[in-house]
Amino acid sequence: MLFNSLPFLVFLPIVFGLYWYVFNKQLRWQNCLLLIASYFFYGWWSWQFMALLALSTFLDYVYGFSVASPNRKKARLFLWLSVINNLGILAVFKYYNFFAQQFQLGFEMLGLHIHPVLLQIGLPIGISFYTFHGMSYVFDIYRGKQKPISNFIEYAVFVAFFPLLVAGPIERATHLLPQIQNRRIFNYRQAVEGCRLILWGMFKKVVVADSLASIADNIFNNYPEHNGITLVLGTIAFSFQIYGDFSGYSDIALGTAKLFGFELLSNFRFPYFSRDIAEFWRRWHISLSSWFRDYLYIPLGGSKDGKGKAVRNTFIIFLVSGFWHGASWNFIAWGFIHACGFLPLLLLDRNRTHVKEVVAADRLWPNGKELLQMFTTFCFVSFAWIFFRIHNMSNAVDYVKSIFTNYRNPAESLSYLSIFFYILPLLIIDWQFRRNERRLEISKRNVFAALSSRVVMYTIYTLTALFLLNAIIQKENMSFIYFQF
């Protein structure tokens, strides 16, 4: 079920009403409702894979008790069983065909011809997210940060909670399970914040991302026909398309969770205002990057064992992150590019320069240095997006070459300047809210500022409703990009 669809717009108020007005006095019934609603939400897309979700959930639930054993050999054994189970599911459904084809190519280079059996099955939606939920639960038990939970319903809600089920954020058991186990009381302010986030996320998706998608698709799919300036505009369009699409999903997920009394982990904190690549990765897909940091980078030794191992671990993290996104060399190349961009900061001990503060935290506008830093970081990130967007590596390289070599018919680029009609309002509003991505507070500096902010926000809400209504009528509900991962 898509957030930007009529079924969801019917589904959400029904579940909300039952949750707060029918089952509000019994926590266990609220959790049961959430579990049923989550599986219905997931099954709306493909009921065939509901059993896989249930099996993955049950296995990690069972493993958790053995991982908590004081016998460390037994605990380690079941920890590895959980890892093998979860990665095995990913390997079969997401990576088997890729490796089979690579082995075939390798044997053909040796003059041998094999014909591997390929799986003719679709990728279960959300598989990369809910398997990581399960592994984080087991890892935290092994580390002593989480006790095994006896109530299966509560654990199943943690894995399958519908706002985050198919595209995150990737939650931690230590953060979400206590909220599931404790009674929730309706909070009007929290619900209002949730509605604002949902509307803002819908604006990012249906107004910005979906509008830019048609432009980016036209340019990328026909790149040999376009000049270098147009290709640059196409790259910018895709950069904001994927940001609007994925951060829009995350905003809707966070907002929906707020309606039910939950606070999910932040997944985006205005990444295109980053001043270097390290800061970008602290602001982009935060739940994934922090997951790899805590469960892979640090166990590998992090940066404590010298620069050599820190460099090795950094490349491992980025390459694995790229491969997590898809079984294709272009994603690995995308991860490699980011590792190369991160490397100078690591070697110069500047990778933690911008850890906590936002850009121009106490000022209205950034200074010249900050503008240059944000511009160069955005250019680097956008360059890497080319390899993310084009799955064929040779085509991606040709696209980059064409940017610098194709100068014919520069006038054609004028027609694509319309992308800034969607990008500039997004940047302006993001800049205003950069200090707190959750609340989207209306400015109260003075009467004029407050009135102006309200006019802007209500205009956005109106545009969102019109675009969403048109998409539903035209049956053009575009799926979210990260559903494929």
Return the exposure string of 321-344: e unless at least 16 CB atoms fall within 10 Å of the residue's CB, then b.
Answer: bbbbbbbbbbbbbbbbbbbebbbe
Residue 330, SS3?
helix
**Cα pseudo-dihedral 396, 233, 227, 219, rounded to 10:** 60
- Residue 116 CB partners (closer than 8 Å, separation 6+): 100, 101, 103, 104
Q: Which of 46, 20, 47 is nearest to 34 (CA)?
A: 20
Residue 417 phi, psi (nearest 5): -65, -10
Give the helix, strand, coil percentages of the chain, each rounded to 5. 70, 0, 30
Q: Is 391 a catalytic residue?
A: no
DSSP state letters, 336-352: HHHHHHHHHHHHTT-TT
CA distance 156 to 165: 11
Q: Would you state the structure tokens that stand for residue 276, as one six-digit string? A: 């270097």
133, 285, 325, 354: which one is catalytic?
325
CA distance 1 to 478: 12
- Residue 18 CB partners (closer than 8 Å, separation 6+): 33
Q: Under a CB-based contact definition with an 8 Å cutoff, are residues 67 and 79 in contact?
A: yes
Instruction: Region of 375 please: left (phi>0), alpha (psi -120 to 50) or beta.
Output: alpha
- Residue 435 CB partners (closer than 8 Å, separation 6+): 358, 361
Q: Under a CB-based contact definition with an 8 Å cutoff, are residues 264 and 169 in contact?
A: yes
Residue with tokens 């991160």: 342
Number of Cβ within a 10 Å radius of residue 54: 14
Q: Which of 164, 157, 162, 159 is nearest to 11 (CA)?
A: 162
**Residue 294 DSSP symbol:** I
Residue with tokens 């991302």: 209
Q: Would you state the structure tokens that stand for residue 3, as one six-digit string? A: 């957030």
Q: Catalytic site residues?
A: 325
